[in-house]
Amino acid sequence: MPFRPEAPAAAIDQERTAVLWCNLGSPDEPTAQAVRSYLSDFLGDPRVVEIPKALWTPILYGIILRTRPAKSAAKYAGIWMPEGAPLKVWTQKQAKLLAGWLGERGHRVTVREAMRYGRPSIAAQLDALEAEGATRVLVLQAYPQYSGTTTASVIDAINAWSARKRRVPEFRFVNDYHGEPLYIEALAKSVEDHWKHHGRPDRLLMSFHGIPERNIRLGDPYQAQCLATARWLIERLKLADSQYRITFQSRFGRAKWLEPYTEPTLRELGASGVARVDVLCPGFPADCLETLEEIAIEGRDAFLQAGGKEFHYIPCLNDRGDWITALAAIAERHLSGWPTRA
Ligand SMILES: C=CC1=C(C)c2cc3[nH]c(cc4nc(cc5[nH]c(cc1n2)c(C)c5CCC(=O)O)C(CCC(=O)O)=C4C)c(C)c3C=C
Ligand SMILES: [Fe+2]
Ligand SMILES: [Fe+2]
């Protein structure tokens, strides 16, 4: 039988577009066992801990994974939602809302959430999209500021999946959106909404997740992007220098991480007579352990114990309409040129 190529029109009709909304991920349950499995995946990622494997593996398995899982599990238990881990619940909801928004604008795209560590994994979601016939995938990440430790690690996971495939879909990656005006506007509105109900604080503290300072010296643009996001927000909210602080949280290990550190800053503010502080975490689009526990519980305690009088935690963007609109605008811009309209 002679070879009969498919008609070009039929081939084009078979193109399917998808958006993969990626976030860090959480353990399946708030138990030491589930946290151990999650942390071994997370902390075994060479993008996250850049210590040579021969040195790091014995420390990770011999020390960290013996003690940290139970402690972290207790913290997760304190913030767990009826539907599951907050980060997963919000990320899933964001994917649904984004799909609805894009659908209403006439785009024929599938949106799926995926987790870099834990479930649903990036590989499992790409397998599902492949089974549904997706031939183009736009990869969006829940990290507005680029870091090798997060953004590049998601790209590594996509590449690892692709390495096992004969037909690799056409991928597009959005590496950051730290200066996206609609993202800044959604953050500003979330702060203004809070202030409308609760009045204004003496200080607004903007806390970003930290990374080792060494990563910055080696070329990671993360710190510059966090500072730029904060700067846009400060300008939009018309804050004077005395009205805000920018800090970095979640230091891990003994190396120097980005400074100033969040918790010591909260203590310093409480001790120096600042009565009320409001904390916003602009780098986290979804509430999670780092915001609900480390800031809203531990940070509050630190500030009040040091002498502060009133502590307000301003929630992450989560399912705010203005944030979903921002996300959809970013998606739409990067979908352009792909025929997604029915
Ligand atoms: C060990 C090094 C770590 C680096 C580097 C790091 C960078 C980094 N992380 C986020 C966002 C999140 N991290 C979260 C939890 C978390 N982070 C680390 C360590 C590093 N993060 C650990 C060990 C943990 C797990 C919890 C614990 O045991 O303390 C989370 C929350 C996850 C959840 O389930 O809620 C987020 C989100 C960013 C943005 C970042 C670099 C820019
Ligand atoms: Fe982290
Ligand atoms: Fe933490």
Q: Probe ligand 1: pick from 209, 215, 295, max atoms within 8 Å of CB? A: 209
- Average pLDDT over every residue of 23-32: 98
pLDDT at residue 244, rounded to an integer: 99
What total number of domains does the chain contain?
1
pLDDT at residue 8, rounded to an integer: 54
Which distant-in-sequence residues (6+ apart) come within 8 Å of 225 by Cβ? 144, 145, 146, 176, 178, 179
Q: Is residue 29 part of an annotated ligand binding site?
A: no
Name the nearest CA neighbour of 190 among 323, 22, 340. Answer: 323
Task: Note if the pTM is more than 0.90.
Answer: yes
The closest residue, in CA terms, to atom 15 on ligand 1 is 290
CA-derived radius of gyration, the chain: 21
Q: Is residue 209 part of an annotated ligand binding site?
A: yes
Residue 271 lies in a domain: yes
Q: Is the CB of 291 under 6 A from ligand 1?
A: no
pLDDT at residue 167, rounded to an integer: 96
Summarised one tens digit per residue, pLDDT across range 272-303 is 999 999 999 999 999 999 999 999 999 999 99
User: From the alpha carbon of 38, which atom of ligand 1 is closest?
Assistant: 25
Q: Is the CB of 290 under 6 A from ligand 1?
A: yes
Give the distance (Å) from ligand 3 centre to CA of residue 290.
5
Question: Residue 37 to residues 68, 119, 154, 290: CA-CA distances in angstroms?
Answer: 12, 11, 19, 19
Question: How far is 242 from 237, CA to CA, in rounded Å?
Answer: 13
Residue 29 lies in a domain: no
Give the distance (Å) from ligand 2 centre to CA of residue 250.
7
Q: Report the chain's mean pLDDT, rounded to a whole number.
A: 96
- How would DSSP label each residue in 142-169? S-SS--TTTHHHHHHHHHHHHTT-SSPP
Give per-residue burial for 162-178: e unless 16+ CB within 10 Å, then b.
eeeeeebbeebbbebbb
Q: Look up residue 35 and give its amino acid.
A: V
Q: Please, which pLDDT band fits residue 342 given cuts at 50, 70 and 90?
A: low
Give the distance (Å) from ligand 3 centre to CA of residue 250.
4
Give the distance (Å) from ligand 2 centre to CA of residue 290.
8
Residue 56: pLDDT over 70: yes
Summarised one tens digit per residue, pLDDT across range 157-185 is 999 999 999 999 999 999 999 999 999 99
Residue 135: pLDDT over 80: yes
- Average pLDDT over every residue of 74-97: 98
By mean pLDDT, which of 3-12, 14-23, 235-244 is the weakest? Answer: 3-12
Q: Probe ligand 1: pick from 252, 258, 318, max atoms within 8 Å of CB? A: 252
Residue 304 lies in a domain: yes
φ/ψ of 246, rounded to 5, equals -120, 125
Summarised one tens digit per residue, pLDDT across range 200-245 is 999 999 999 999 999 999 999 999 999 999 999 999 999 999 999 9
φ/ψ of 243, rounded to 5, equals -100, -5
Looking up residue 301, the CATH number of its domain turns out to be 3.40.50.1400
pLDDT at residue 138, rounded to an integer: 98
Domain span including residue 210? 181-314
Residue 46 lies in a domain: no
pLDDT at residue 15, rounded to an integer: 86
Other residues' Cβ atoms within 10 Å of the Cβ of residue 237: 16
- How would DSSP label each residue in 253-270? SSS-BSSSBHHHHHHHHH
Residue 1: pLDDT over 70: no
Question: Residue 287 to residues 25, 116, 150, 240, 317: CA-CA distances in angstroms?
Answer: 12, 17, 17, 27, 8
Q: Is the CB of 147 under 6 A from ligand 1?
A: yes
Q: Is the CB of 222 under 6 A from ligand 1?
A: yes
Give the distance (Å) from ligand 2 centre to CA of residue 252.
9
The closest residue, in CA terms, to atom 39 on ligand 1 is 209
pLDDT at residue 7, rounded to an integer: 53
Q: Look up residue 136 and give its amino acid.
A: R
Q: Is the CB of 153 under 6 A from ligand 1?
A: no
- Average pLDDT over every residue of 93-113: 97
Residue 59 lies in a domain: no
Higher pLDDT, 9 or 137: 137
Which distant-in-sequence residues (6+ apart) come within 8 Å of 314 by Cβ? 190, 191, 194, 278, 279, 280
Edge-to-edge strands of the sheet including 109-115?
109-115, 17-23, 136-141, 170-173
User: From the alpha carbon of 292, which atom of ligand 1 is closest?
Assistant: 35
Max Cα separation, the chain? 87
- The residue with tokens 């009565």 is 275
Which distant-in-sequence residues (6+ apart) come within 8 Å of 243 by Cβ? 202, 203, 204
The ipTM, to two decimals, is 0.98
Residue 247 lies in a domain: yes
Residue 14 lies in a domain: no
Give the distance (Å) from ligand 1 centre to CA of residue 261.
15
